[in-house]
Structure 1
Amino acid sequence: MSDMITAELVDLDLSATTKEAAARALAERMVALGRVTDLDGFLADVAAREAQMPTGLDGGIGIPHCRSAHVTEPTLAFGRSAAGIDFGAADGPADLIFLIAAPAGADDAHLTILSSLARQLMNAEFTGALRSVAGTGTAAALIRGDITPADAEAERASADSAAAPADGEAASADTGPASAQAPSDSVATPVAASAGAATDTTSPSGERGERPFRIVAVTSCPTGIAHTYMAAESLENAGREAGVELVVETQGSAGFTRLDPAVIADADGVIFAHDVPVRDKDRFAGKPTVDVGVKAGINRPAELIAEVRGKAARGEATAAAPASGATPVERAGETGEGYGTKLRKWLMSGVSYMVPFVAAGGLLIALGFAIGGYKINKAPSVMDHFIWTQADSWGALLFQIGGVAFAFLVPVLAGYIAYGMADRPGLVPGFVGGSISLTINAGFLGGLAAGLIAGGVVMSIQKVRIPAALRGIMPVVVIPLISSAIVGFLMFVVIGKPIASAQKAMTDWLNGLTGTNAVLLGALLGLMMCFDLGGPVNKVAYTFATAGIAVASPSDSAMKIMAAVMAAGMVPPLAMALATTVRGKLFTQTERENGKAAWVLGLSFISEGAIPFAAADPLRVIPSAMVGGAITGSLSMAFDATLRAPHGGIFVVPLIGNPLLYLIAIAAGVCVTTALVIVLKGLRKPAPGATAPEPADGTLPAEGSKQPVAA
């Protein structure tokens, strides 16, 4: 454990009687060595951590710890108490006390070393040796890992044999503190006993053969230094005792490495032992799960294993993760994914964070125009001119607030693309690159490039081997500084002008779309919106549209594209709702119920309302929806309908240019899709031995039964 602990940081005769006094006595040793700069400030941080959750562990262990700005380097002090000190453990006072001091910016390597101590504390031989060791230097070497528990015991025995029996010291050394008498098995014994019971648990399926029961676990605690890793070690030991395969993901201060999705998929059960929220929890959905505090993972791991096996045997599982579960950022970069998949997730992560700004800003700007008229963009700042009783002032206020929201679009897009690639270190260069993109008029395309460059730069920096002395300041100083400088240089000097030219060319092309070209673009966007109903292709079309209006003064062409996209996206759910209304007998009872909800979803521009129908009959529903969407998109473009708001469906019709023709375009697409679905479903040939039509209540005849169809 390097120089984190030395003989000067060990007190084998700790006389303190309270946890506060024990922490002070050990902290004073740290101060004497220059490891802690402010004793009272450090002790206040220790007390604050202790207030979150007691740090006493079963087996006579106290492990107070904290991060503190008053710590100069990661340090560990050890004290052994003969009387025992109450640290809040259920089984009584602690005689082994470890005080862990981590700097506020402790580097990952040292945090990993600290976590190794937590794992050693689950080793009965290790704790037993600490209870009997005679010298401070030996205790420090044992904790550092320089010697093994067997070496420490041999050294103690050698010292005992060299001592004169008459002086009584040998007997004293062997006796040790009262709390250590039944000592070293205090942790391992209950685990082994209950693990044996768990071993007798019948396999849930009864058909596993030689395949062991498999468990995945997640451990975490508020500071992520000690309890996180102790719980992991305890669960792994109990898993070996129980004969199960148990793999733990430790979500500690040193970060965490996600379990392989294949390992999670193969698991028969899940254990969460945590005191802070489990990150990416949806990965484990749909499996038998035991959810407890981190100390339960330390103190009764075998019980948790037995409990999760029992749940698996009874078929108790958590609900499956919703389709919209984790954000694209949280799912980015999983093991086994190809570069194309990762790239799509990175881009969509930026889009997913940008869309709320588009929605808020776009609707505010649209309301500003609706209240104040189309010259509201010429109004002076409301800071200089605002009259409470004038509608124009309120329109100007809404318009200007919306404009401020729009100013964040490209920086947010770039920042969260970089975030999806490199986590939090990517945010600063991503936002900087996105802001530069606006400065040089590179727009949406520049934001995409800036985000990808920022994420790539940060990922490259993170792969460089950094001296230990610099690791603590890497995330907050070095990475933001270097990555922002590189991204800024590339955007301003190297690629900014070409991207700005490409952005201008695309804008000019869109502004020049008229007649047949505009109608064809509307048809293409309509096809894309209805192809996968909220999936990647749908999102590409929607992102293309929102990017066009994501400026303070979008062109007419951009607003026409937005109108066509929203209109086409409303067609599938509305058409399914209409079809279930006019020809309900072609649909099951469940589909007819879904049809009622599809009215509201379609009117709200939620294309996903048609997914239940497409999933049940994709070869008839999806082509029909695409035809209707193409017709609606092309008609919307032909009618010159415009839309400034990126969402809202029927509720923003008052904000649409040429609203009557816009509604006609939607109605035309809905009618065409409805007619096609009804015709295609009506052409279905009944299977041999067809049964009677489904009863009105949606129930079906028993399997294998045949009922005559009434003449």
Structure 2
Amino acid sequence: MELIDILTKDHIILNLKGTNQDDVIDELVNTLAANQLTNDPTSFKEAIYKRESEISTAVGYGVAIPHAKSKSVSKPTIIMGRTLQGIDYGGQHTNLVFMIAAPENASDEHLSLLSKLSTFLMSDTFRAKLLVATSVDEVLTAIREQDKEEEPEADQTDAGKYLIGITACMTGIAHTYMAAESLKEAAAKRGMKVKIQTNGANGPENSLTSQDIQHADAIIVAHDVRVDTTVFNGKRFVDVPVKKAISHADQLIDQALNYDIRDPQAEVVSESAPEPEKKSGLNFYKHIMSGVSYMIPFVVVGGIFIAISFMFGIYAADPTSDQYNVFAEFFSQVGGEAAFALMVPILAGFIGYSIADKQGLAPAMIGGMVASIGGSGFLGGMIAGFVGGFAAKYIGRAFKGVPKAFQGLISVLLVPLLSTFIVGAFMFFILNTPMSLLNVFLENWLTGLTGINAAILGALLAGMMASDMGGPINKTASAFGLAMFAANIFEPSAALMVGGMVPPIGIALATTLFKNRFTLQEAEAGKASYVLGASFITEGAIPFAAADPLRIIPANIVGAAIGGAACMALDISLKAPHGGIFVIPIASNHPLLYIGCILLGSVVTCLMIGFLKKPLSEKDRQKAKAMDSVI
């Protein structure tokens, strides 16, 4: 069964009306019922919510895949919904929602659909095509193209060798299966036998046996959560985050084969050099991103509520002021005194949770609150998360030999008590004073930036934001912006949003003004990029950058840098780091000037693209037109 067989025209909603998770689920279920694919939409909706209550089906990358089995469903079906503005789905900003409905007894089909859809959504280009599609037919075309994408022939020198592995992501849904599928496909191209255990939300599937481990030639463990690797009996294995298995499966297989674990002399790894454990335990990037992902909703809500409060007047939230307004006080209290106050503790807590699971949550979060109270701010909160998380992790290990009858007492009393004492004492006696002084220095330095110095910083941040559109450079700039945001310095946030909005808007302008540089399909995609760019959805630029990186990416960076420089030179601030045009009127101190900076950067990007890209020949146009008409 192919996706195109069950995701038909009347199953696709390009403009969801819902503005929150519940409304969108209602809309998708109603579409399911309208197509007579369920005879009891209420019971199916209950099954969807039951699944969501176990763990959110938001899988990142702006995608959610709610799914459920129900006896009320007649056949496996997918309902797709898209919202360009985006919604909060399970705490993640989401633009694409795929609801999978399967009959109660269709376990194989249900898993197959989920796995195949997850594999398709690994592709940045595929997701971008769905976002910029202007019609249902374009969505179906993108799916057909992805389904029929030709794969290059691969080297068969490893034919017959046996690859095993385990994949496990934070939610246990899409990325778990994406990584497994990527490894399977890479191994199959080489002619290798392969078995990948997926530790999904419903528990391990396709579990490895002792015979699998004994006869394996290579082992790969791709995980963002803890996995039991003792089953490998000391055999060396490649230990990486899930995303690396998705994008670099071939390289990982080469690395795993180089360990030559079938060599009897290489069977056991010395206890003095537990390489896989160290790599996994000290994956700082993974832990920081885990904390930041949970922190962002607090930042967004707090910033917007504070911005709304200021709309009533600068002092309208102060009961002693003549400007006092009760609604202003409400928004100020909820946004500033509640949401903002929780930002740093949440960041620290979920860094600790990423390191030591539940045992690390309380000490790290308390350490984060001590950092917030003591003036250490965002950076102090990050350090508190690591100290609290690793303290809980190693204290827990120290008590592993205690009889099981006392393990419950140790996990709920001794581990949190001792690790909280450690992180609390470290923050209170050692870190808070120097870190608070550093924060004051940074705040004074940034506040004092004017003219050319502010412009340089704005250009750097916006240029980094536009450089790799979601990669490590982009995330480094975003982390700096969040740190400044937590310190109530809002100018960097404005420059960063310029860096995210300029690429798609600039490209859209180029497709309008320089049509002869683009194929008909690219020109159509450019129209949707106007909306995506205005909504701060940078993914609209990805298909163009992937097709012509040497011209598009430099144009994006230069345009974004110029817009960001102008933004900070003009002392423009933004109290909501996400939302695009929807938050600018209420969250920016100079909304018209700010929009002007975005347009300035977009025009520069547009002109650079027009200059760098050569007009297409008539032959190229005819070829592109012919390709567009296929399918």
TM-score interval w.r.t. the shorter chain?
0.5 to 0.7
Identify the residue that residue 571 of structure 1 maps to in structure 2.
Answer: 502
After superposition, the Cα gap between the structure-2 partners of 1:625 and 1:232, relative to the gap in structure 1 and judged at 3 Å, is closer
Q: Deviations over 1:510-533 (max 9, x none)?
A: 111112211111111121111111
Identify the residue that residue 613 of structure 1 maps to in structure 2.
Answer: 544
Residue 677 in structure 1 maps to residue 592 in structure 2: no
Cα distance in 1 for partners of 2:472, 2:248 equals 25
Cα displacement (A) at 1:609: 2.1
TM-score, with structure 1 as normaliser: 0.51
Cα distance in 2 for partners of 1:221, 1:527 equals 38
SS of the aligned residue for 1:495 comes to: helix
Match for residue 668 of structure 1 among 568, 576, 600: 600
Cα distance in 2 for partners of 1:700, 1:529 equals 32
Structure 1, unaligned runs of 5 or more? 1-203, 266-278, 288-332, 703-711
Identify the residue that residue 536 of structure 1 maps to in structure 2.
Answer: 472
Alignment of 1:686-697 (within 5 A): 691-694=619-622, 697=625
Q: Which has the larger radius of gyration?
A: 1
SS of the aligned residue for 2:490 comes to: helix
- Give the number of equivalent residue pairs: 412
Q: Deviations over 1:126-176 (max 9, x none)?
A: xxxxxxxxxxxxxxxxxxxxxxxxxxxxxxxxxxxxxxxxxxxxxxxxxxx
Alignment of 1:264-663 (within 5 A): 335=276, 342-370=283-311, 372-379=312-319, 392-403=325-336, 404-464=338-398, 466-469=400-403, 470-550=406-486, 554=488, 558-655=489-586, 656-663=588-595
Deviating more after overlay: 616-625 vs 391-400: 391-400
Cα distance in 1 for partners of 2:591, 2:308 equals 15
Equivalent residue letter for 1:440: G
Cα distance in 1 for partners of 2:467, 2:197 equals 39
SS of the aligned residue for 2:398 comes to: coil
Cα distance in 2 for partners of 1:525, 1:248 equals 36
After superposition, the Cα gap between the structure-2 partners of 1:334 and 1:358, relative to the gap in structure 1 and judged at 3 Å, is farther
Identity %: 39
SS of the aligned residue for 2:621 comes to: coil
Cα displacement (A) at 1:578: 1.3
Cα distance in 1 for partners of 2:530, 2:425 equals 51
Cα distance in 2 for partners of 1:585, 1:262 equals 55
Equivalent residue letter for 1:215: K
- Confirm or deny: 8 A CA contact 2:459 2:564 kept in the other structure: yes
Cα displacement (A) at 1:214: 2.5
Equivalent residue letter for 2:577: P
Cα displacement (A) at 1:468: 2.7
- Confirm or deny: 8 A CA contact 2:516 2:615 kept in the other structure: no
Identify the residue that residue 699 of structure 1 maps to in structure 2.
Answer: 627
Cα distance in 2 for partners of 1:413, 1:565 equals 20
Equivalent residue letter for 2:553: I
Cα displacement (A) at 1:451: 1.0
TM-score, with structure 2 as normaliser: 0.57
Q: Deviations over 1:235-272 (max 9, x none)?
A: 767x79xx9999999x9xx974499999899xxxxxxx
SS of the aligned residue for 1:682 comes to: coil
Q: Deviations over 1:183-227 (max 9, x none)?
A: xxxxxxxxxxxxxxxxxxxxx99x9899773223357998x8xxx
Cα distance in 1 for partners of 2:320, 2:382 equals 33
Equivalent residue letter for 1:353: Y
Identify the residue that residue 193 of structure 2 maps to in structure 1.
Answer: 213
Cα displacement (A) at 1:583: 2.1
Equivalent residue letter for 2:504: P
After superposition, the Cα gap between the structure-2 partners of 1:503 and 1:248, relative to the gap in structure 1 and judged at 3 Å, is closer
Equivalent residue letter for 2:350: Y
Cα distance in 2 for partners of 1:430, 1:667 equals 43
SS of the aligned residue for 1:697 comes to: helix
After superposition, the Cα gap between the structure-2 partners of 1:334 and 1:523, relative to the gap in structure 1 and judged at 3 Å, is farther
Equivalent residue letter for 1:361: G
The CA RMSD over aligned residues, in Å, is 4.4
SS of the aligned residue for 1:644 comes to: coil
Cα distance in 2 for partners of 1:508, 1:600 equals 37
Cα displacement (A) at 1:417: 1.3
- Confirm or deny: 8 A CA contact 1:216 1:246 kept in the other structure: no
SS of the aligned residue for 2:305 comes to: helix
Equivalent residue letter for 1:393: V
SS of the aligned residue for 2:197 comes to: strand
After superposition, the Cα gap between the structure-2 partners of 1:519 and 1:282, relative to the gap in structure 1 and judged at 3 Å, is closer
After superposition, the Cα gap between the structure-2 partners of 1:236 and 1:575, relative to the gap in structure 1 and judged at 3 Å, is same
Cα distance in 1 for partners of 2:281, 2:400 equals 30
More relative contact order, 1 or 2 (CA 8 Å, 6+ apart): 2
Structure 2, unaligned runs of 5 or more? 1-183, 250-273
After superposition, the Cα gap between the structure-2 partners of 1:672 and 1:505, relative to the gap in structure 1 and judged at 3 Å, is same
Equivalent residue letter for 1:617: D
- Confirm or deny: 8 A CA contact 1:264 1:284 kept in the other structure: no
Alignment of 1:55-94 (within 5 A): none
Deviating more after overlay: 568-577 vs 461-470: 461-470
Identify the residue that residue 10 of structure 2 maps to in structure 1.
Answer: none
SS of the aligned residue for 2:423 comes to: helix
Cα displacement (A) at 1:701: 11
Cα distance in 1 for partners of 2:356, 2:296 equals 21
Equivalent residue letter for 1:652: V
- Confirm or deny: 8 A CA contact 1:217 1:247 kept in the other structure: no
Equivalent residue letter for 1:675: L
SS of the aligned residue for 1:378 comes to: coil
SS of the aligned residue for 1:217 comes to: strand
Alignment of 1:170-209 (within 5 A): none
Equivalent residue letter for 2:535: S
Q: Deviations over 1:643-693 (max 9, x none)?
A: 112212111222222222212111111011011011111279x8xxx9443
Cα distance in 1 for partners of 2:503, 2:392 equals 42
Cα distance in 1 for partners of 2:463, 2:236 equals 35
Cα distance in 2 for partners of 1:212, 1:667 equals 52
- Confirm or deny: 8 A CA contact 1:369 1:376 kept in the other structure: yes
- Confirm or deny: 8 A CA contact 2:503 2:541 kept in the other structure: yes
After superposition, the Cα gap between the structure-2 partners of 1:285 and 1:662, relative to the gap in structure 1 and judged at 3 Å, is closer
